[in-house]
Structure formats: structure tokens, C-alpha cells
Amino acid sequence: MARYTANKCKLCRREGMKLFLKGQRCFIDKCSLSRRDYPPGVHAHRRSKMTDYGLHLREKQKLKRIYGILERQFRLYFKEAERQKGNTGANLLVLLERRLDNAVLASGFSYSRNHARQLVNHGHFLVNGRRVDIASFRVRPGDVITPASKEKTVKMVKDAKELNKSQTVPDWLEVSEAEMSSKVLALPKREHVPHPIQEQLVVEICSK
């Protein structure tokens, strides 16, 4: 499976906003965007004014990079969002929020989205008692997400919860500290998406 392996801080600088690709590290002074709030590259300061197409493209790129998906997979999500009833942009965001790696991250069980994806891909999480190693697995209401019973897995999850203790868990999830589990109470809604994305611009560029 293709994935982005280069410097992630450059992505934040390119988009001009924090994408929180490194978890809690993005909140400290070491954040690259805090020290260099301009796009990467030799000619970053000489770039011309953003065009209308450029605005639409950057919004789509933000969304892809936040959720860690590439173009082909993004197109599949968009086509499915179009087929569903209701607002296509909101449908797209809800589909992305329902990814298992996102649910793990939102529950505070990982340090960052990449860490959540790695944990899922390596089989460190169970859904309803069954091992799931697909990061794009789509959670449904009633699903219970728990770490595997391995000592190493439990320790990683506990350390992540301690690091993320100030993180607010979204309303569509219910985290049990005692049982170290997260239950999906309902489907996420547009207002649960914490990122400042203008989804209508994404819909417009993808519909062309």
C-alpha cells in the first residue's frame, strides 16, 4: 500500500496550517510551522497570488493529508459520498471520520494518526473482539474497539492515553478508562469534524 514517508512538517508548512500529523508534538514550540510559517522550497517567498483553482486544490490536499490517504483512495471515498443521500461534502467527511485509525486516534489510544494507522495495520486492535488490521475499516454504531491483550499493546495504549489526557473525546465515541475500550455510540456528524475544512471547495474540484 502506498503511503507518504517524507518529512510531515513540510505538509503543514505547505498548507499554511497545522494538520496535527505528529500528535501532541504539534502543540509545543518545536512545531516547524511556529518557527517557519511559510511554504517549503527555495522560492517560497516569491510565489504569486493564489488562483481560484489553487484554492480548491489546496483544500482537497489538506483533507487528503489530514486523513493520510492518497488520490486513488480519496476518489473512491468521493464517489461513495456522491451516491449517498444528503450533502456530498458532509458525507465525505463522515466517511473519513469513520475510519478505524481515526476512531483509534479520536479515542486517545495513539500518539498521532500515523501511529494509529501503524497500530491497526499490525493488528494491535480488536473490533467487537475480532482482530482488524485494515486502517480504512469503517466503524459502525455499536462497535467496541479494544487493544489486543498483549502486554506491549496495553502499555502503548496506556502511555498514549496519559499523553492525551487533555484531549476531548468526540460525542460519537464513549471511552471507558477502566476497560480500556471505546464504543461507537452513533455515526459522526459534520460538526464532529475538528478540522477547518471547506468541503464545498473539495466537492467543486472533484466534480469537474
The answer on 159 and 116 residing in a single domain is yes
91 φ, ψ (degrees, to nearest 5)? -60, -40
Residue 3 covered by a domain: no
Grid cell for residue 106: 479520536
**Rounded-to-integer distance, Cα 41 and Cα 26, Å:** 21
Distances (CA, A) of 151 to 115, 148, 170: 18, 8, 27
CATH of the domain at 111: 3.10.290.10
The answer on 118 and 77 residing in a single domain is no
pLDDT at 134: 94
**Rounded-to-integer distance, Cα 50 and Cα 69, Å:** 24
The answer on 108 and 124 residing in a single domain is yes
Helix (H) or strand (E) holding 57: helix 52-67
The answer on 183 and 103 residing in a single domain is yes
Q: List per-residue pLDDT tens for the chain, 208 residues long.
A: 456 555 555 555 555 556 555 555 544 556 555 556 656 655 555 566 778 887 888 888 888 888 888 899 999 999 999 999 989 999 999 999 999 999 999 998 988 888 899 999 999 999 999 999 999 999 999 999 999 988 989 998 998 888 888 888 899 999 998 888 999 999 999 888 888 888 898 999 888 7
The tens digit of pLDDT for each residue in 167-181 reads 888 999 999 988 889
Closest CA to 94 of 159, 201, 187: 187
pLDDT at 103: 94
- Name the residue range of residue 129's domain: 99-187
The answer on 111 and 169 residing in a single domain is yes
**Residue at grid coordinates 503543514:** 12
The answer on 90 and 47 residing in a single domain is yes
Closest CA to 97 of 167, 203, 190: 190
Closest CA to 124 of 152, 99, 105: 152
pTM of the shown model: 0.81
Residue 78 covered by a domain: yes
CATH of the domain at 39: 1.10.1050.10
pLDDT at 1: 45
User: How many structural domains comprise the chain?
Assistant: 2
